[in-house]
Amino acid sequence: MTTTAPTADARALGLAHYAARGVLERVLARHGTTFQQQIALRAAVTADAPQTPDDLVTQVRGSLKADPADIRATVDELLAKQLLVADGPHLRPTDAGRELIAAIGAETAPVTARIWGGIPAEDLAAAGRVLALVAERANAELAAPAA
Protein backbone atom coordinates (compact mmCIF):
# COMPACT_ATOMS: atom_id res chain seq x y z
CA MET A 1 0.00 0.00 0.00
CA THR A 2 1.45 3.33 -1.06
CA THR A 3 0.36 6.56 0.57
CA THR A 4 1.11 9.91 -0.90
CA ALA A 5 2.02 12.92 1.13
CA PRO A 6 -0.68 15.57 1.33
CA THR A 7 -0.24 18.49 -0.99
CA ALA A 8 0.54 21.81 0.63
CA ASP A 9 -2.26 24.27 0.04
CA ALA A 10 -3.95 27.20 1.76
CA ARG A 11 -6.05 24.92 3.96
CA ALA A 12 -3.05 22.86 5.11
CA LEU A 13 -1.14 26.05 5.84
CA GLY A 14 -4.06 27.48 7.80
CA LEU A 15 -4.57 24.31 9.82
CA ALA A 16 -0.87 24.17 10.72
CA HIS A 17 -0.85 27.85 11.64
CA TYR A 18 -3.88 27.63 13.89
CA ALA A 19 -2.70 24.43 15.56
CA ALA A 20 0.66 26.00 16.39
CA ARG A 21 -0.96 29.27 17.41
CA GLY A 22 -3.32 27.37 19.70
CA VAL A 23 -0.30 25.94 21.51
CA LEU A 24 1.19 29.43 21.87
CA GLU A 25 -2.14 30.93 22.97
CA ARG A 26 -2.22 28.49 25.93
CA VAL A 27 1.15 29.80 27.09
CA LEU A 28 0.15 33.42 26.51
CA ALA A 29 -3.08 32.97 28.48
CA ARG A 30 -1.08 31.84 31.52
CA HIS A 31 0.75 35.17 31.32
CA GLY A 32 -2.35 37.30 30.69
CA THR A 33 -1.02 38.29 27.28
CA THR A 34 -2.69 38.27 23.87
CA PHE A 35 -1.13 37.07 20.65
CA GLN A 36 -0.96 40.60 19.25
CA GLN A 37 0.57 41.95 22.49
CA GLN A 38 3.25 39.28 22.33
CA ILE A 39 4.06 40.08 18.70
CA ALA A 40 4.32 43.81 19.40
CA LEU A 41 6.34 43.34 22.57
CA ARG A 42 8.71 40.89 20.85
CA ALA A 43 9.21 43.42 18.05
CA ALA A 44 10.15 46.08 20.62
CA VAL A 45 12.43 43.72 22.56
CA THR A 46 14.29 42.49 19.47
CA ALA A 47 14.60 45.86 17.70
CA ASP A 48 18.14 47.02 16.94
CA ALA A 49 17.27 50.57 17.97
CA PRO A 50 14.48 52.27 19.93
CA GLN A 51 11.31 52.61 17.88
CA THR A 52 8.68 55.31 17.75
CA PRO A 53 5.10 54.15 18.21
CA ASP A 54 4.61 54.58 14.44
CA ASP A 55 7.68 52.42 13.74
CA LEU A 56 6.34 49.68 15.99
CA VAL A 57 2.86 49.82 14.44
CA THR A 58 4.38 49.58 10.96
CA GLN A 59 6.53 46.61 11.92
CA VAL A 60 3.66 44.72 13.57
CA ARG A 61 1.34 45.52 10.67
CA GLY A 62 3.92 44.04 8.30
CA SER A 63 3.83 40.82 10.30
CA LEU A 64 0.15 40.50 11.20
CA LYS A 65 -1.60 42.54 8.48
CA ALA A 66 -3.76 43.92 11.30
CA ASP A 67 -5.56 47.24 11.37
CA PRO A 68 -3.19 50.02 12.51
CA ALA A 69 -5.79 51.29 15.01
CA ASP A 70 -5.92 47.83 16.61
CA ILE A 71 -2.14 47.71 16.80
CA ARG A 72 -2.04 51.19 18.38
CA ALA A 73 -4.54 49.95 20.97
CA THR A 74 -2.24 46.97 21.62
CA VAL A 75 0.73 49.30 22.10
CA ASP A 76 -1.37 51.33 24.54
CA GLU A 77 -2.17 48.11 26.43
CA LEU A 78 1.53 47.29 26.67
CA LEU A 79 2.21 50.79 28.00
CA ALA A 80 -0.62 50.44 30.53
CA LYS A 81 0.78 47.08 31.67
CA GLN A 82 4.19 48.76 31.99
CA LEU A 83 5.74 46.28 29.57
CA LEU A 84 6.71 49.21 27.33
CA VAL A 85 7.58 52.71 28.45
CA ALA A 86 7.77 55.98 26.52
CA ASP A 87 11.28 57.41 26.42
CA GLY A 88 10.89 60.74 24.64
CA PRO A 89 9.55 59.99 21.16
CA HIS A 90 10.57 56.33 21.42
CA LEU A 91 9.25 53.24 23.13
CA ARG A 92 11.45 50.85 24.97
CA PRO A 93 10.66 47.57 26.65
CA THR A 94 10.80 47.55 30.43
CA ASP A 95 12.57 44.88 32.43
CA ALA A 96 9.14 43.32 33.00
CA GLY A 97 8.54 43.30 29.23
CA ARG A 98 11.88 41.63 28.55
CA GLU A 99 11.23 39.10 31.32
CA LEU A 100 7.82 38.28 29.89
CA ILE A 101 9.22 37.61 26.43
CA ALA A 102 11.97 35.47 27.97
CA ALA A 103 9.44 33.51 30.05
CA ILE A 104 7.20 32.88 27.03
CA GLY A 105 10.23 31.75 25.04
CA ALA A 106 11.35 29.41 27.81
CA GLU A 107 7.87 27.87 28.08
CA THR A 108 7.40 27.41 24.34
CA ALA A 109 10.91 26.07 23.62
CA PRO A 110 10.27 22.45 24.69
CA VAL A 111 6.92 22.37 22.91
CA THR A 112 8.48 23.83 19.79
CA ALA A 113 11.19 21.18 19.95
CA ARG A 114 8.55 18.42 20.15
CA ILE A 115 6.55 19.88 17.26
CA TRP A 116 9.48 20.54 14.92
CA GLY A 117 11.87 17.85 16.14
CA GLY A 118 12.68 14.98 13.84
CA ILE A 119 11.63 16.72 10.64
CA PRO A 120 14.44 16.20 8.14
CA ALA A 121 16.47 19.33 7.35
CA GLU A 122 15.76 18.99 3.62
CA ASP A 123 12.00 18.94 4.32
CA LEU A 124 12.30 22.04 6.49
CA ALA A 125 14.33 23.77 3.77
CA ALA A 126 11.74 22.90 1.10
CA ALA A 127 8.87 24.03 3.33
CA GLY A 128 10.75 27.24 4.10
CA ARG A 129 11.16 28.00 0.41
CA VAL A 130 7.48 27.35 -0.29
CA LEU A 131 6.29 29.42 2.68
CA ALA A 132 8.57 32.32 1.71
CA LEU A 133 7.16 32.26 -1.83
CA VAL A 134 3.56 32.08 -0.58
CA ALA A 135 4.20 35.03 1.76
CA GLU A 136 5.84 37.03 -1.03
CA ARG A 137 2.92 36.43 -3.38
CA ALA A 138 0.30 37.15 -0.73
CA ASN A 139 2.08 40.38 0.24
CA ALA A 140 2.10 41.38 -3.43
CA GLU A 141 -1.65 40.76 -3.60
CA LEU A 142 -2.18 42.89 -0.49
CA ALA A 143 -0.07 45.70 -1.98
CA ALA A 144 -2.01 45.67 -5.27
CA PRO A 145 -5.07 47.88 -5.65
CA ALA A 146 -8.27 46.04 -4.75
CA ALA A 147 -10.00 44.62 -7.81
Task: List C-alpha distances in Å: 93 to 13, 110, 135, 138.
Answer: 32, 25, 29, 31
Where do the structural domains in the chain lie, given as residue ranges?
21-112
Residue 83 sits at φ, ψ, to 5 deg, of: -95, -25
Q: Are 40 and 74 in contact (CB under 8 A)?
A: yes
Which pLDDT value is given to residue 64? 94
Reported residue count of the chain is 147
- Taking residue 84's Cβ as centre, other Cβ atoms within 10 Å add up to 26
Which overall architecture, per CATH, does domain 21-112 show?
Orthogonal Bundle (1.10)
Which pLDDT value is given to residue 2? 58
Whether the per-residue pLDDT at 1 is higher than 70: the answer is: no
At 117, the pLDDT band (50, 70, 90 cuts) reads very high
Distance of CA 34 to the CA centre of its chain: 11
Which pLDDT value is given to residue 7? 86
Residue 5 sits at φ, ψ, to 5 deg, of: -70, 145
pLDDT tens, 10-67?
A: 999 999 999 999 999 999 999 999 999 999 999 999 999 999 999 999 999 999 999 9
3-state secondary structure (DSSP) of residue 15: helix
pLDDT tens, 72-86?
A: 999 999 999 999 999
Task: List C-alpha distances in Å: 138 to 22, 62, 63, 110.
Answer: 23, 12, 12, 31
Bridge partners of 90?
A: 87
Residue 49 DSSP symbol: S
